[in-house]
Structure 1
């Protein structure tokens, strides 16, 4: 009897170790964070692959074992995925309150003359145009102190200090009635959501083979008609576009063929009309492309090699041929508008040529011709001069000049941004009650905006208030072969007077140069106390095979420093410093 009881007890202990942990109701689903992910028959890399899943797809969780999650694929099928490539959705998890945003149905007005429009959310980005006091702008999106706007032929970012909102007339917005294209559902059962987001409410469903009319696009989502007039959103991965419907038709216009010449030194071709789109090819300055159609300042183009994709339309110089007589080339008058006071007008197209005149912000001149990166302009009274193309905005068909800045060194780089802590792990708590986990996520999202605008590929280890293990954070860096891994933190100590910024590294040969460059830039931009670049044996650095640093961006235990780091001004400065430091490192 004793032996039997001992055997039963031993079996019970073994089963308690190896039986997967059931998942309770507070965490019943996961969303895939990798571009594509293999599903295996068991909890480990040695098990065979049974299926494949894609980014942003959501699955019900059956159980967990170590770092592996068993998910439900269909009614009768399941499989295992690595937990570091998925994030949990929990009905009971608490998230930080959303920041107040400017509503998308509002207009904005400029409060300043010569307000500069920039390519990205920060002063380090190139000026692409300007607006004057009283100009009404269309709101696109918000990132801390920066607002993305559209104005005439310009689209870019302006600082919110120089804007005020103007509500549109209180009337129901008329939905778009133009069908952009048509498609067929390729999923067994496709959920239709109220908005283009996995967290949005489900308002209906479609079956495999159903035909849909597409009225709008937003990132990876299509706006479709459901039950006649009702509108909803479906994920584009589950819609096959009908080839005959890919281009909008307009039988009232003569048949035209639009070609365009690339004006940027190097231009990304993406699989969709957004900066979030995957880069599928690149074209260089002078390449000729066929423009198939345009949407939201993006152009769907055919490349010389036959590929099709999306490029930013503001980097194309277009020409159109049609059955109607072509207007004389000189009938299109192009102009430049000066963006800065006391801009030099020179005798020739070089900074070594003598200055013949000076112009002020807002002055406009007719362009005679473009000479390399300079414009030859008419000054009146028969006089002519040259102005640098990267310090003016232009109108007309003349090619735009892009002066490569520090952002050219970030284009194509893979950066893993790791907002420290999250979920039940709040990190440090400030004197005034600010959570470190909330601040690190805020900083990470602003940095992410800046890097993506420069063409970098960014991966956030978390994009919401959830817990991610240290090993999973490191795994992302190694899996994506990151060019840099940045773990963001805010410091704390029992001594309330301690302050400043510190950058930590582990491997001197791999990490120190990056740490030193970032530390130097952050001190320059913020004027905080320089605590230096120091060695530390942190897990996210020690186990990381890629260049990696951990940044402590200020002390929440210091009441004065806490009040400073939560401001938009500080967030702008510190993320600009990190952006510049990375660019210098890659340069």
Structure 2
């Protein structure tokens, strides 16, 4: 056990030392993750409507976005994956998000590398079926999609396997879903993959990870004098057993968030950019003037945002265009 913990800590330090030589997380015009935007979407074997349907998806189903492609008809298609299903859907059938914070699983034994390219030195191994927590994403010059991830907090998975921290090709990963996780916006769910803590001070980890959009029940709330947002005590199920713990309040997509959906809000001056996905690095698809009325349709929270502006709203503009704006666009939302 001591050797395992030592290995985890050592790899964490090594990963920090290599940070200067890693591929930079530059701006990316394409998201690596999204949720289905329509009531029903058919997945095709190839990037054309006439191709055989291989899977049916439903609103809010989660998918990794492995590649994009424009066919001969000029249609933009995406190659997507969830669980062990891979296929093609049209680009406008999915709502793109950032990949940071996701918990993914390896579809085969694969390497964690020093940089976002197969030629980079392998620093660890991700075994088939094992989990990886993503904290950075990148599309390299070849157009390959990579995520930087580790299993440092996954103590149960680290024991009996090797710890890793490095760049993993998105093609070798999948996002696991279940019928319980495919929920509408009327349910309380996790707004971001998060570690569960034993105490309201968020100092001692339980060893459990609550996946993004996993169902949860809020049992209580605690606010300290210096923390205006507070923390939630939550209960959640893992393999039919119920557990309890504490998470930051913003990590729960509560009714307070969902009460915003479908309502119109007037913007203020702080931000005028509408992004393709819920990250500052994604492509800007539109601009709006201060005072523009935007309809909020969804929320995404990014706890890894270093500037403290990690809360995003999916909005509908007056001209019918959709996109993501940072929460700083509004006042009191």
TM-score scaled by length of structure 1: 0.20
Structure with the larger RCO, 1 or 2 (CA within 8 Å, 6+ apart)? 2
TM-score scaled by length of structure 2: 0.32
In proportion to residue count, which structure has more helix?
A: 1
Rg comparison, structure with higher value: 1
